[in-house]
Amino acid sequence: MAGQMMTGAEILLESLVAEGVEVVFGYGGGAVLPIYDALYQQDRIRHILVRHEQGAAHAAEGYARSTGKPGVLLVTSGPGATNTVTGLTDALMDSIPIICLTGQVPTHLIGNDAFQEADTVGITRPCTKHNYLLKDIKDVALKVREAFFVATHGRPGPVVIDLPKNITMGEAEYIRPMAVGHKTYRPIVKGKLEDVREAVQMIAAAKKPIFYTGGGVINSGPAASQLLRELAHLTGFPVTSTLMGLGAFPASDKQFVGMLGMHGTYEANMAMHDCDLMVCIGARFDDRITGKLDAFSPESKKIHIDIDPSSINKTIPVDLGIVGDVGHVLEDLIKIWKSETQRPDADALKAWWAIIDKWREKDSLAFETSDKMIMPQQAIQLLYEHTKDLDTYITTDVGQHQMWAAQHYKFEKPNRLMTSGGLGTMGYGLPSAIGVQIAHPDSTVVCITGEASFMMNIQELSTAVQHGAGVKILLLNNHYQGMVRQWQEMLHGGRLAESEMTGMPDFVKTAEAFGMVGMRAEKPSELEDVIKAMLAEDGPVIAEIETDKTIGCYPMIPSGSAHNEMLFGPRESKATKISAEGMTMV
């Protein structure tokens, strides 16, 4: 079949359309001029011009995470490519499928230190799932096909395609590749049935079980979240979730014991510590989750379901590892559970829930309010009250506000929380929110942020205004890099080295200067009205909330401690001695 003659840039765009791409986040430059010229002459792909390439990467992540489809970004060579490195690493750590198209100098100049040349594939090799440098125009269509396959199959992740300018300017016949799949990369999606059967036996025998769920449930697709609900209800087991997994299981369900880990609930962490069976579903025993490794859930048998074989036995040795996609494994597990007419040990479970309910009574997320200062948790609770009945997506930045959002915003559905979990990228929240809003123009998108994180990619306000992305920025301003300050108070004698944010702009005026709406709440009495007013606007808004400057984020497991060594407030944390080893783990 003879194909049509096209330029490399046109072949690239055809290939993107063939993958179902509708939006590309990007920033032009010399090496990608042919691609931009081709974009200009078509109307199937919408281009969202960002203000910094890092913003494009996070916007693509937000787009991907909220839709379940891969996000695409397009940047120029050299600085364009190097500016995406943080976003690529972020996507790698959180398993987000994005395709990063980078311009490159012409092939004959590669290696010559040409203007805006960087060794993009060399630089991005450790921060992508895979990357390509295309040196032959005939490869473009096939490699784009392959890149999307790699990004979205198995454990998802970022893929870079480096496109030298002579390739995008050259001409060739476009033949749509027929091949699906990959000659070497074939991830296992079905778990071994004998392993799943063994898991069913272990679940049926458990007396103090817990489901420990993570982002893998969300990455597996909406069906996996449904199956998780079904399994939880069939067994009656408590469910806890990592930050990345929030929403896969409804926060309002009485079997949900809240997020676990460093800033998780008391009941979740105690249940993890004291359980006799832990079923880890699509999570990876991150150090923010496990705390002190040798004191991690010492008495339990552990089952680990993960699509990435390298996650199993990486940090925590497990009794049964099942390599497979969460959705497929849960489906088989439920089928076998039902066909064997298994029942959980009802008496043991009743006793276990009685213990958990006692822990719950501690009400570990409780905080004191004041009539003078707004508590940040209060702002998030009110935001939840006013958005729970709307079609809402939340993004966060990184720090205290992120943990408060995770603790106090009740996520009921998957794909509704966009946050930088593994890498902890300050500056993620705003561009990610823009990506979400572009994907869901009629939904409510709120970026919960702090003033320090917000400043890291504040230029993207201009992107939001240009493209009519009506993101709502709930800016919790405590005038400090709050989480840094909290650790300095705990570990470094209260010497607040460079963690105070001074010389900051007036955020209301900043909003206005960017052509958007700004508002501010300084007293608790103003808070609710400001949140309502923020949500009532169609366009983008900054709602700056002046919060209490001094409070810390609790409860917490100090670094290097075990799950049953939680702190509930600043008084305890001052009295706590943290080992040198623990200090290095912050």
Partner 1 sequence: MGGEWAANKMNRPVTQLDQTEQRHTLAVLVDNEAGVLARVIGLFSGRGYNIESLTVAEVDAAVNRSRISIVTSGTPQVIAQIKAQLERLIPVHAVADLTVEGPSVEREMALVKVNAIGDKRVESLRIADIFRARVVDATSESFVFEMTGATDKINAFLDLMVPLGMVDVSRTGVAAITRGPNPM
List residues binding partner 1 (CB under 8 A): 121-122, 125-126, 129-130, 133, 150, 182-185, 195, 308-310, 312-314, 317-323
Q: How far is the CB of 310 from partner 1 (least distance, A)?
A: 4
Q: Which single residue is written with the structure tokens 């982002």?
A: 215
Q: Say if residues 326 and 224 touch (Cβ distance below 8 Å).
A: yes
Active site residue 1: no
Q: Say if residues 556 and 483 touch (Cβ distance below 8 Å).
A: no
Given 143, 165, 302, 472, the catalytic residue: 165
Burial code (b: 16+ CB inside 10 Å, e: under 16) for 312-341 equals: beeebebebbbbbbbbbbbbbbbebbeeee
Active site residue 53: yes
Q: How far is the CB of 123 from partner 1 (least distance, A)?
A: 11
Nearer to partner 1, 11 or 151 (CB): 151
Nearer to partner 1, 115 or 185 (CB): 185
Active site residue 367: no
Given 483, 490, 516, 534, the catalytic residue: 483
Q: Say if residues 210 and 238 touch (Cβ distance below 8 Å).
A: yes
Active site residue 208: no
Active site residue 338: no
Angle in degrees, 0-180, between the axes of helices 33-40 and 8-18, rounded to the nearest 10? 60
Q: How far is the CB of 18 from partner 1 (least distance, A)?
A: 21
* Terminal Cα distance for the chain, rounded: 59
Distance of CA 386 to the CA centre of its chain: 23
Given 4, 5, 42, 115, the catalytic residue: 115
3-state helix, strand and coil shares in percent for the chain, rounded to the nearest 5: 45, 20, 40
Give DSSP secondary structure letters for 276-329: SEEEEES----HHHH-SGGGSSTT-EEEEEES-GGGTTSSS--SEEEES-HHHH
Find residue 322's DSSP bridge partners.
Answer: 305
Q: How far is the CB of 205 from partner 1 (least distance, A)?
A: 16
Nearer to partner 1, 137 or 516 (CB): 137
Nearer to partner 1, 154 or 427 (CB): 154
CB under 8 Å to 425, separation ≥6 — which residues?
58, 86, 87, 90, 398
CB under 8 Å to 347, separation ≥6 — which residues?
none
Q: How far is the CB of 313 from partner 1 (least distance, A)?
A: 5
Q: How far is the CB of 295 from partner 1 (least distance, A)?
A: 14
Nearer to partner 1, 148 or 487 (CB): 148
Nearer to partner 1, 31 or 312 (CB): 312
Nearest Cα neighbor of 204 from 323, 349, 354 is 349
- Cis before 106 (ω within 30): no
Catalytically annotated residues: 53, 115-116, 165, 483
